[in-house]
Structures are given as structure tokens and as C-alpha cells.
Amino acid sequence: MRGFSGFLAYRLFRTLVALWLVSTVVFVVMRLSGDPVPLLLPPDAPISEMERVRHDLGLDRSLAVQYGVFLGNVIHGDFGRSIHFRQPAMAVARSYLEATFELGLVAFTIALVVAFPLGVISAVKRNSFLDHAAMGLALVGQSAPTFFIGILLILTLSLRLDLFPTSGRGDWRNLVLPALTLGAFTMASIARITRSAVLEVLRADFVRTARAKGVTELWVVAKHTLRNAALPILTITGLQFGTLLGGAVVTETVFAWPGIGRLAIQSIYNRDYPVVQSTVFIAAVLFIAINLVLDVLYGILDPRARA
Amino acid sequence: MSDAGAPPSGAVALALPAPQAGRRVRVPRPLVLSALFIGLLALVAVAAPILAPHNPERGSLRARLKPPTREAPDGKTYLLGTDQLGRDVLSRMVFGTRVSLTIGFAAVAVGGLVGGLLGLVAGFQGGWVDEVVMTVADAQLAFPFILLAIGIIAVLGPSFPNLIIVVGLSGWVTYARVLRSQVLSLRQRDFVSAILGLGGSVPRVLVRHILPNVASTFMVIATLELARAIVLEATLSFLGLGIQPPTPSWGGMIQEGREYLDSAWWISVFPGVLLMLTSFMVSRTGDWLRDVLDPTLRGES
């Protein structure tokens, strides 16, 4: 019989295994993608110079040794020096994190604040005009590709109406278009899952019982329904956070937003392994931490999930 | 599709009073519309060489960046305009349909097979199998797949088969997670223990009793995954890692038109709208499939 702390310890263990898997995959993929040394030096650099750089970066050792060194460094949060920036890679990645946090947080907040009430109302007033309008819009938002939403926003609000800048980071006006772009999918998903989760619970026997007892409709929704609908909503919201991180890669690229997603893409093109590893590692830690929190919430909300 | 939808609709319409009967009959209409759209798109993909008015890869220098027009200076018709190399946008969209649909359907097959199998087994067996599958799933979900996709394609090169594998494997987790949780609760139900108790073998229970119960969920996920796969391929092509120029793909066209957004919006906007419409129609089909296939929703008033 495991208690709640046992459940947590077990989740933590799974988390560490997931992190190890992520680091290993990143290591393998990046080492397979080619030699970065020719990118660092002028084309006419002598072989000896290339060998020296290769040695400095530890690339002349066997893959097994490189992997061992890599894992040891990962534990210390050290991914070596950036090949492109010539600074510690983790510090480079961390310096880009703030911009991504700013964008992600604004996007997620907008999405949640709009989507959750909309989903609940759509479920309660099922088949009303509001339900159809909200869900129709949610569907468009969910099926539209992030990068094209960005392109359309740039074309209409930026190039035609000249309301917001097309790219870069600065005051709040720079934030509007990327946040809308990044939040669109999340908003749509949360609205739809909230609606269907609430609908599902509204059909349950205990809701009928509550209604039969004469409980007011507002109380039925607020007390009996939302608590029980919270589990699927929570799960999807957590998954949305991962989608949001992925969406940040595309959104930041479209809007030239100086965040960690754009850094990751550029570093892949530059074959700057240490930075790529740092960015992916940060993204993974963030996502796993969020899911761990969600698991704990899940365990609190539903004792059956602690098994 | 109509075979699956029609009999229950008819049955419900007979059993329920008139207002519900009317509502039930109306349900399949949008589904028919979406299915028609997808069918039409498939037809366009197959008949692309016949339907495209121009060569999608050869441009006319005298007709560069022409807006949608019935007659350009070179005397030809470009209904949706031309791009920066004087290539016909409509023809490129028509040929781009091939890329989107081929990769989309193939990716769904790859992801559905891998994810469906792993989800079934993980949910039913539990134990270490479940642990391993779900840990790998967690690990994959733990970082933006687009980064992994970019990394893999940077290594393997952006070819058709590589794109199918990468886009396909991006989706297996969804099938595995959802099917696992369904199977997990199904196997605790009395009918499963009853059959196992009566001597029914595990494969028999899985195939005869669990599978029919999760089939509708699987169909719904597969349809929604098709939309996602098409969008992911377009995204990769947009980032320059998908289908390589000069082969036309919707994502690649949107990328090429980005620089000309201010002066020649049609290069990006037309393929983008088609991409959006396709994604919308396919996910809509998934939704209606769920409404029709999910027995707990059927006949709900």
C-alpha cells in the first residue's frame, strides 16, 4: 500500500528517467548531424588548426567518452561552451529564456481567461447561438496552422492597418501579435475540452440526483460539475503547455522574437550542439516540472489516480 | 461513412419523438460536405497534371509577381496570380495537394499503428510494459517535437519517406495515451473479468471486446491526427525542412511568399487558406465522426 508520498517519489523517478531519455536522444541526434568544426573556421584553415579546435571541443574523443562526459556535465547543468557565441551554452540559453517566458505566459493567460469560461458556458447552454459561434471559432483556431495565423496577423494588423510592429521585442505592442498567434491553438483546445468535459459530467447520474434534490442549476455546475470535469481539463491544459513550447519555436521564428525557441532553431542550423542541448534540456525540464505539478493536483483531486 | 451513420440515425429517428427525429436527420449534412471536400482534394491530388493550368515548376519571367488576373502581359491567365519567379500559384497549389495528402495519410498510418498497438498493450498488460511505454511517451512529450523533427531531418535529409516517418512518429503518443486510459478502465469492467474468468484468452478479449470499444475513439483520433499531420508537414516545409524547392508544397509556398507579403500577398495567402480549410474540414469530420460513433452521445437531447 503506497501512500501519496510514495506516489510522488515514483513520479519523480519517472521524471528523471524521462530527462535521461531526452538528453540521450539529443546527444545522439546532434552528434549524428555532422561536424561543426568546418563551420567555425575559414574554409582555408589548415588541418592542424581544425584538429586543435576539435580537440578543444572534445570532439576527437570516442563517442562513448563524449557521452560519459556529456552525462556528467548534464548533472551539473553544464553543457559546455557555445560554439557560436563563445560563452557557456547554458548561460546563453538562459538569457533567451526570459523573452520566451514573457511571450508564453501572456499567451497562456489570454488563452485560459478566454477559453475556460467560454467552454463552460457553451456546455451549459448547449446548442445555443453562443455555443455554435464559440465552438466554430475554436475549431478554426485549432485547425489553423500557427505560422499561418502569424502571417495573417502580420498582413492585416501590421502591414495593412499599421497597428503593431511586424517583428522584434520591445514594448507591449510587440507582444500582441506573437501572443495571439501562440495562444490561438491553446485557447481553442481548452475551450473545446472544457465544453466536452462539462457536458460529460452534466449527463452523470449524480448530477441528475442533485437536480432532483432541487439544487439550483448554478450550484450544480459550480460544485458538482466543475470539480468532476477538472481532471480531463487539467490533463489537456498540461499537454497544451507542451504544445505552447513547441508553438513558441514557430511563433518566435515568424516574429523574430528573441526567445529560446528561435535560438534553438538557429543553433540547429549553426550546429551549435551545446546551445541546442541546453535549450532542449531547459524545455524538457520545464515541461516535466509542469506535468509533475499536474500529477500532484491530479492525485489530490482524484484519489483513484494515486495507484 | 454513410453506411455507418445511416442505420443508427434511422433507428433513433423512429424511436424518438418528432423534434429529435428532425435534428438527427440534419446531423450528417456537414459531414457529407467535409467528406466531399476531402474526396475532391484527393481527386485534385490524383489528377493534378490534368487540372493544373500551368507547369508548377516553370515560371515566366515576364509574368513575375502578377496579381490574380485573367490576362497577364504574356497573354496567359493566372487565376490566383504568380509568384516571384513567375510561376502560377494555382498550379503550385494543385500539385501541393499531392504532398499534403500523401504525407498526411501515410503519417496517420504510421502513427496509428505504432501508437494504437502500444496503447492497447500498455493499458491491458499494465506492469513494466505500461511503465516503459508511458515513460517513452512522457519523454517524447517532454520537449517540443518540432525540435526533434528538425534535428532528425537535419541528419537524415528532407526526403518524402523521412518526412512520413518523422510526422507519423510525432503522433503516436496521442493514440497510445488515450487508448491506454480507455483500456485501463475497460479491463476493470465486469464483462472483461467475466470473459477472462470463463476462460477467454487475452488476445480474444483484446480483439473481440476491447477493440470494438475503443474503435470509435481510434477513428476520431486518426481523423484529427490527419489534420495535425498535414499542418506539421506544412510547418516543416515552412521552416525549410520539409519538401524542398522547386517541388511545390503549401508550407513552402507560404514561406516563399513571406518576403513579398506587402506587395504580393496572394503567394502566401491562397495556399495558406487552402491549408487552413483542409485542416478545418478534416478535423470537423473527426468531430462529427465522434458524435456519430460515440454511443454515449447518441440520442442525447
Quick one: pLDDT at residue A125?
Answer: 86
Quick one: pLDDT at residue B28?
Answer: 63
Question: Which residues, in sequence order, are CB contacts of A259 under 8 Å at separation 6+?
Answer: A96, A97, A99, A100, A103, A248, A252
The pLDDT confidence band at residue B23, using thresholds 50, 70 and 90, is very low
Check CB contact of B97 with chain A, cutoff 8 Å: no
Query: Could you report the per-residue pLDDT of A82-106, keeping only the tens digit for each?
Result: 878 888 888 888 899 888 888 988 9
Within a 13 Å sphere around the CA of B73, how many CA atoms are in the beta-carbon half?
10
In angstroms, rounded to a whole number, what is the distance separating the alpha carbons of residues A190 and A154?
Answer: 25
Quick one: pLDDT at residue B210?
Answer: 84
Is residue B136 pLDDT above 60, yes or no? yes
The pLDDT confidence band at residue B294, using thresholds 50, 70 and 90, is low
Contact B119, B178 (CB under 8 A): yes
The pLDDT confidence band at residue B114, using thresholds 50, 70 and 90, is very high
3-state secondary structure of A81: strand
Quick one: pLDDT at residue B25?
Answer: 43
Mean pLDDT computed over A68-73:
82
At A94, the amino acid letter reads: R
At B280, the amino acid letter reads: F
Which of B128, B143, B145 is most worth mutating to test chain A (most A CB atoms within 10 A of its CB)? B143
Residues of B in contact with A151 (CB under 8 A): 254, 258, 261, 268-269, 272
Please tell me which residue, A177 or B291, carries the higher pLDDT value.
A177
Quick one: pLDDT at residue A204?
Answer: 78
Is residue B7 pLDDT above 50, yes or no? no
Contact B131, B74 (CB under 8 A): no
Is residue B207 pLDDT above 70, yes or no? yes
Mean pLDDT computed over B23-47:
78
Looking at residue A158, the DSSP 8-state letter turns out to be I
* H or E segment and range at residue A172: helix A172-202
Omega prior to B246 cis, within 30 of 0: yes
Residues of A in contact with B231 (CB under 8 A): 143, 145
Look over chain A and give the mean of its residue pLDDT values, rounded to a whole number: 81
Residues 108-167 of B with CB under 8 A from A: 131, 134-136, 138-139, 141-148, 150-152, 154-155
Cell numbers 529560446 correspond to A260
Size of interface A-B (CB pairs under 8 A): 135
Quick one: pLDDT at residue A242?
Answer: 67
Nearest CB partner across the interface for A145, out of B134, B141, B234: B234
Quick one: pLDDT at residue A168?
Answer: 78
Quick one: pLDDT at residue A81?
Answer: 79
What's the gap between Cα B13 and its chain centre? 31
Please tell me which residue, A144 or A301, carries the higher pLDDT value.
A144
Percent of chain A with pLDDT over 90: 5
Quick one: pLDDT at residue B297?
Answer: 41
The pLDDT confidence band at residue B146, using thresholds 50, 70 and 90, is confident
Is residue B104 pLDDT above 90, yes or no? yes
- From A289's Cα to the closest Cα of chain B, the distance in A is 9
3-state secondary structure of B88: strand
pTM score > 0.90 for this model? no
Nearest CB partner across the interface for B146, out of A246, A287, A288: A246
Q: Mark yes or no for CB contact B144/A249 under 8 Å.
A: yes
Q: Mark yes or no for CB contact A144/B239 under 8 Å.
A: no
Worst-scoring range by mean pLDDT, A152-166, B148-162, B220-234? B148-162
Quick one: pLDDT at residue A34?
Answer: 66
For the record, the C-alpha cell of B91 comes out as 498550379
Mean pLDDT computed over B254-272:
89
Beta-ladder partners of B78: B69
Please tell me which residue, B147 or A68, carries the higher pLDDT value.
A68
Nearest CA in chain A to B149: A29
Mean pLDDT computed over B234-238:
91
Quick one: pLDDT at residue A213?
Answer: 82
Q: Mark yes or no for CB contact A147/B139 under 8 Å.
A: no
The pLDDT confidence band at residue B12, using thresholds 50, 70 and 90, is very low
Query: Could you report the per-residue pLDDT of A45-57, keeping only the tens digit for each?
Result: 788 888 888 787 7
Which of the given ranges, A142-156, B17-31, B191-205, has the highest pLDDT on average? A142-156
Mean pLDDT computed over A212-223:
77
Mean pLDDT computed over B268-284:
91
Check CB contact of B26 with chain A, cutoff 8 Å: no
Residues of B in contact with A29 (CB under 8 A): 148, 151-152, 155
Check CB contact of B270 with chain A, cutoff 8 Å: no
Is residue B234 pLDDT above 90, yes or no? yes
Q: Mark yes or no for CB contact A151/B258 under 8 Å.
A: yes
Mean pLDDT computed over A237-252:
78
Quick one: pLDDT at residue A50?
Answer: 80
Q: Mark yes or no for CB contact A33/B262 under 8 Å.
A: no
What's the gap between Cα A235 and its chain centre? 14
Quick one: pLDDT at residue B20?
Answer: 44
